[in-house]
Amino acid sequence: MYRACGSFSETYSDDMALMRTRWQWLALAILMVGLVCYPLVASSGWIRFATITGITIISVLGLQILVGLTGQVSVGQSAFMGIGAYFGAIAAMKFHMPFPLPILVGATGAAIVGVLFGLPAARIKGFYLALTTLAAQFVFQFTIVRLPDSWFGGSAGISVAPPVIFGVQINSTVGFYYLTLPFTVLAVFAALFIMRSRVGRALISVRDNDLAAEVTGINVIYYKVAAFGLASFFAGLAGGLLAYENKLAHFEQFTLFESIWYLGMLIVGGMGSILGAVLGAVSLRFVQEILALVSPRMAELLPGARYDIAFPMINVVLGVLIIVFLIYQPRGLAHLYRRGERYARVWPFPY
Amino acid sequence: MLWETLLRVLVSGIANGAIYASVAVGFSIIYRSGKVFNIAQGEMLMLATFMAMTFFGMGMNHWVALALTATAMGLLGLGVERFVLRPLVGQSEMALFMATLGLLLVLNGLGVIMFGTEPRLFPDVLGTERWLVGTVSIKQSAVLGTALVAGSVAGLAWFFRSTRTGLFMTAVAESHQIARSLGVNVQRSIGLSWAIAGVVATISAAAFMSGRSVSPEIASIAFVALPVVLLSGLESIGGVMLGGIIVGVGQSMAAAWLDPYTEGGASLLFPFALMMLILLFRPQGLFGWKRVERI
C-alpha cells in the first residue's frame, strides 16, 4: 500500500480503513455510478458480456480464496458452479421459491459438496489435492447426465424461468445486468472482508507454512476444508446466477476447460489479491470476447475454412497467456497495477 | 456363460489397460525425471495420432511415417522443456503443474484448429485379423499393441534402473539442487524425459489407434490414465503395466455387470472413484516413493 504524503492515520480504525481518503470515496462513487450507467451507453452484446464477466468475477473470487489465499490448487471450480446451478434451478422450478432464495440454496448446496470434496485436504496436499478436484469435475459431468431424468433433467438439463422480483419479471439483457451487479459488488466486498478478517489471515498463514500455522494455534485442517466450502459457495452463487442468465442449467456449461480458464484468470490477475481476481476475470473475458468476434474472420484466412475455431483459439491464447504470465509476471496484473500506482504517486521523482 | 463373459472382460480389460498404461508411463517418465506433473500428456497422444495420420495421408510408408512422427514429437518435447519449463526452473511444483495446464489448453486448441473436430479413420498399421480363443474373438492389433506397450514399458523401466543416463534422470527427480551439484545436467535430463514422453505418445498412438476412428477428444484418455499412474505410484515405471491392467479390467467388469443398471455410468465413474480412494488411503500408490506430504 503506497499512501500519499500527508495521509497518515491517527487511530487504529483509521489505519485499518478500506477507504482512507476523500478521493478514494470519490473514485468508488464514480465507479459505482459508472457501473449503474453502463447499460445506457453499451450495446446489448456488451451488456451481456458485462453480465457474464460479473458472474465470472464471483466464481474467480471464490477460487482466489481457495488457491490464492490458502494455496490449494483446484481444477474443479466450474463443477461446483454447475452444482450451484442445478440446485438453484431445482429450488426455483420444483419448489417454486421466490427469487433470491434459489441462488442461496444453490450456493449452500455447492458449499456442502465442496466441503465433501475438500475433505481429502485433511490428508493430502499439493497437486495430489488438485487431482481430487479434477475427479470432482469428472464425477459431476458423468453423474449428472445419468441420474434419473426426473432429478436433474438428464441430458436436457433443467430450464429456468425468468426470476420475478416484487412482481416484476426480469427477462431482458439489461434486467439480468442489474440482477447480477449487486451480487458481484457484494461478492467483491465479501471476499475483501474475508481476506482482511481472522479467517483470511488464518488461510494465508496456512498457505505460507501450514506447520507454523498449526503451532500458532490455527486449526489447519479446519481452515483447509473451510476454504473449499467458501470457494464452492462463491462458485455456487455464480452458477445459480448463470443458470438464470442462460435460462438453463446444463452440465455442458461447466466443463474442465472452464475450470482451467478460471485458474488462468487467477494467474493472469495475480494470486492472493482480490483486485487480481477482478482484473484477471475482466481481462481474460475481454480477450475471449474479442477472439469470439475475430475468429470467424480468421477462419476464412486458414486453409480448409473451418468456422468453429473460436473455442480452440480461446484455448490457445489463454494457454499462452497462462504460460507467459507464469514465466514473466507470476504476480499478475494486480502487481503491475500496484507498481503503476506507486509510480504515479511519486512522479516525477523515481522514488 | 459366466466364463465366457469373464474371458471377454479380461481380454478387453487388458487391452484397455495397456492403453492407459501407455499414457500413464508418459506421466511417470516426466514426473520421475523432473518432478513435473504433465497434465497435457493426453494432448501429446492426440497430436501424435493426428500427425501420424497426416503423414499417412501424404502416402508415406507406415513405418516411415511413424518414425517421422516420433521425431517430431521428440522435438516438441524438447521445445516444451526449452520454452516453458526452463524459464520456470526453481519455481514451486504447483507453478510447473499450472504451466502444463496452460500447455494443455494450447495443444488442445492447436489440435482442434489444425485437424478439425470431425472423427477420422486411423489406418490399420498392426493388421486386421481376428483370432478366436474359445468363443471370444481377439483382434490382432490389440494383441500386438499390448505387446508393444509392454515391451516399451519394460525397456523404459530397464533404462531408468540400469543405465547411467537413466540413473542421472532419477537423481534429478530426487532433488534438482543435489543432482546439479553432483554434476548432472538437470535441463538436459528434463528435456530428454520430455522427448522420450513424446516418442512414447507416438508408440501408444500406433499401438491403439489403428483401425479406430479418432477425433481430438481422444486426449481425454489421459484423465482415465490418472488413476493408473497414481495406483502404480508416480515414480514407478514398471508398475504402470500392473496399474493399467487393474484399472482396465475393473472398468470392463463395471461395464459388463454394472453398466446395464447405471446407463453406462459405472464404467466411466470407476476410474475416478478409484482415484479418490487411492488419494485418500495410499497416495504414494503401490510402488511409488513414499514422500507424499502430509500435514
Chain B residues inside the 8 Å CB shell of A330: 91, 95
Residue A221 counted as domain residue:
yes
What residues are paired with B121 via a beta bridge?
B213
Task: Tell me the percentage of chain B whose pLDDT exceeds 90.
Answer: 15
Question: What distance in Å separates the CA atoms of residue B256 and residue B246, rounded to the nearest whole number?
Answer: 15
DSSP three-state, residue A158: strand
Tell me the count of A-B CB pairs closer than 8 A: 144
Q: What is the CATH number of the domain that holds A174?
A: 1.10.3470
- Choose the most confident range, by mean pLDDT, from A12-21, A88-97, A175-184, B21-30: A175-184
pLDDT digits (tens, 9 = 90+) for A8-43: 778 888 777 887 778 889 999 999 999 999 999 989
The answer on pLDDT for B295 being more than 70 is no
CA A258 from centre of chain: 11
Q: Which residues contact A14 (CB under 8 A, 6 or more apart)?
A: A20
Q: Is B203:B89 a contact under the CB 8 Å cutoff?
A: no
Question: What distance in Å separates the CA atoms of residue A270 and residue A201, rounded to the nearest whole number?
Answer: 18
Task: Tell me the percentage of chain A whose pLDDT exceeds 90.
Answer: 56
User: Nearest CA to B26 among B271, B250, B234?
Assistant: B234
Residue A240 counted as domain residue:
yes
Residue A22 counted as domain residue:
no
Min mean pLDDT across A252-261, B76-85, B268-277 is at B268-277
Domain residue ranges of chain B, discontinuous segments joined by +: 2-281
pLDDT digits (tens, 9 = 90+) for B131-143: 777 677 777 878 8
DSSP three-state, residue A27: helix
Categorize the per-residue pLDDT at A143 as very low, low, confident or very high, splitting at 50, 70 and 90.
confident
pLDDT digits (tens, 9 = 90+) for A319-340: 999 999 999 999 999 999 988 8
pLDDT digits (tens, 9 = 90+) for A272-288: 899 999 999 999 999 99
Judge whether B102 is closer than 8 Å to chain A, CB to CB.
Answer: yes
The answer on pLDDT for A306 being more than 70 is no
User: Nearest CA to A178 among A283, A81, A47, A59?
Assistant: A47
Question: What distance in Å separates the CA atoms of residue A123 and residue B282, rounded to the nearest whole number?
Answer: 10
Measure Cα distances from A76 to A88, A107, A246 in Å: 19, 15, 21
Question: What distance in Å separates the CA atoms of residue B232 and residue B166, rounded to the nearest whole number?
Answer: 19
Ramachandran angles phi, psi of B293, nearest 5°: -75, 125
The minimum CA-CA distance between B140 and chain A, rounded to whole Å, is: 32
The answer on pLDDT for B124 being more than 50 is yes
Domain with A243, as residue range(s), is 42-346
Measure Cα distances from A299 to A315, B109, B247 in Å: 15, 14, 41
Quote the pLDDT of residue A31.
94
Residue A105 counted as domain residue:
yes
Residue A185 counted as domain residue:
yes
Ramachandran angles phi, psi of B183, nearest 5°: 90, 15
The answer on pLDDT for B219 being more than 80 is yes
Measure Cα distances from A285 to A57, A277, A292 in Å: 10, 12, 10
Quote the pLDDT of residue A1.
57
Interface residue of A128, A155, A218, A223 to substitute, partner B, most B CBs within 10 Å: A128
Q: What is the mean pLDDT of chain B?
A: 84
pLDDT digits (tens, 9 = 90+) for B50-80: 998 888 888 888 888 889 999 999 999 999 9
Residue A14 counted as domain residue:
no
User: Are residues A143 and B280, on separate chains, in Cβ contact within 8 Å?
Assistant: no
pLDDT digits (tens, 9 = 90+) for A119-128: 888 888 777 8
Q: What is the mean pLDDT of chain A?
A: 88
Quote the pLDDT of residue B88.
86
The answer on pLDDT for A50 being more than 50 is yes
User: Which residues 145-174 in chain A show a CB within 8 A of chain B?
Assistant: 145-146
pLDDT digits (tens, 9 = 90+) for B233-266: 888 888 888 888 899 898 888 888 887 777 777 8
Of B105, B262, B294, Cβ closest to residue A260:
B105
The answer on pLDDT for A304 being more than 60 is no
Assess if CATH 1.10.3470 describes domain B2-281: yes
SS3 content of chain A, % helix, strand, coil (to 5): 75, 0, 20
Judge whether A241 is closer than 8 Å to chain B, CB to CB.
Answer: no
Please report where in the chains the cell 477420422 appears, as a residue. B120
Judge whether A312 is closer than 8 Å to chain B, CB to CB.
Answer: yes
Judge whether B87 is closer than 8 Å to chain A, CB to CB.
Answer: yes
Residue A99 counted as domain residue:
yes
Residue A1 counted as domain residue:
no
ipTM over cut 0.85:
yes
The answer on pLDDT for A115 being more than 60 is yes
Name the DSSP letter for residue B258: I
Judge whether B260 is closer than 8 Å to chain A, CB to CB.
Answer: no
The answer on pLDDT for B222 being more than 70 is yes
Measure Cα distances from A298 to A284, A285, A320, B106, B250 in Å: 19, 19, 18, 17, 46
Q: What is the arithmetic mean of pLDDT over B93-111?
A: 91
pLDDT digits (tens, 9 = 90+) for A153-202: 777 888 888 888 877 888 888 999 999 999 999 999 999 999 999 999 99
Structural domain count of chain A: 1
